[in-house]
Amino acid sequence: MTEGLRERKKRQTRQRITEVAMGLFVERGFEHVTITEVAAAAEVSANTVYNYFPAKEDLVLPPDEASPQRLADMVRQRRVGESAADAILRELREEVHRRDRKVGLTGGFGRVFDMMRAAPTLLARLESLGQQMTDALAAVLAEETGAAPDDQLPRVIAHQLGCFHSLVFAEIGKRLTAGESPDAIAEATLDLLTTIEDVLGDRVLAYAMRKDQPCSE
């Protein structure tokens, strides 16, 4: 579908606000920049900023990129013959290979990461997001396997996969702080994903195997 003029202008406005905000946050610290200052620098009204980003934290962790459904969506979209763990590991490897912004492997992200670590509200959002991802994953695993309400297995496997997902991001963050290049970080992260796959048991690796073609929306 061709992007219309209205949609293109909205996308460009959103992108400009994001770029301006991130520049201010990195320069001065997240806690020391107001929405009013972001709006003025982006040459829009404060209401316009709030229309695109209801919360200040959304400027750094936009819901469409930092979604609580991230892991659950990976499982929902898994391929025929692919388990839940296989799908998550494959998606993470693909994100690392293409140096995706979602895993922080873009140039200059080290300064952004340092800014995020220094902001308690962003750290709290990340912690909450991780728990929401695990809960959403547990729910989709229970639904797709037809687990009984008292079956603990979906929650246990979701927690294990969620922990490994967090470990990957912690590894990337540690190496960003150390000043390593995106290519070096990517190589180390791929090695970590191989180690994770090696230590996962057969029960986890085979759990929630897709046997049919996922329904298209």
CATH of the structural domain 5-59, one choice from 3.30.450.40, 1.10.10.60, 3.60.21.10, 3.40.50.460: 1.10.10.60
- Answering whether pTM is above 0.85, one says yes
For residue 131, what are its two tokens?
A: 């728990």
Domain coordinates in residue numbering, the chain: 5-59, 70-205
Model pLDDT, residue 68: 95
**Residue corresponding to tokens 């090695």:** 191
Model pLDDT, residue 56: 96
Alpha carbon 10 to chain centroid, angstroms: 23
Alpha carbons within 13 A on the beta-carbon side of 91? 21
Q: Are 105 and 17 in contact (CB under 8 A)?
A: no
Residue 44, judged by CB atoms within 10 A of its CB (0-12, 13-18, 19+), counts as: middle
Where residue 17 falls (left for φ over 0; alpha for ψ -120 to 50; beta otherwise) is alpha
Q: Are 81 and 210 in contact (CB under 8 A)?
A: yes
Q: For each successive 10 residues of the chain (217 residues), what is the average pLDDT?
A: 82 95 96 97 97 96 90 96 97 95 84 92 94 97 95 97 95 90 94 96 95 65
Of 165, 57, 168, 166, nearest to 105 by C-alpha is 168
Concatenate the DSSP letters of all residues of 105-159 into one string: -STTHHHHHHHHHT-HHHHHHHHHHHHHHHHHHHHHHHHHHT--TT--HHHHHHH
Rounded to whole angstroms, how far apart are CA atoms 211 and 79?
Answer: 9
Model pLDDT, residue 215: 59
Where residue 102 falls (left for φ over 0; alpha for ψ -120 to 50; beta otherwise) is alpha
194-205: buried (b, 16+ CB within 10 Å) or exposed (e) per residue? eebeeebeeebe
Residues 6+ apart with CB under 8 A from 121: 30, 31, 56, 57
Model pLDDT, residue 148: 96
For residue 61, what are its two tokens?
A: 């962790």
Rounded to whole angstroms, how far apart are CA atoms 34 and 49?
Answer: 11
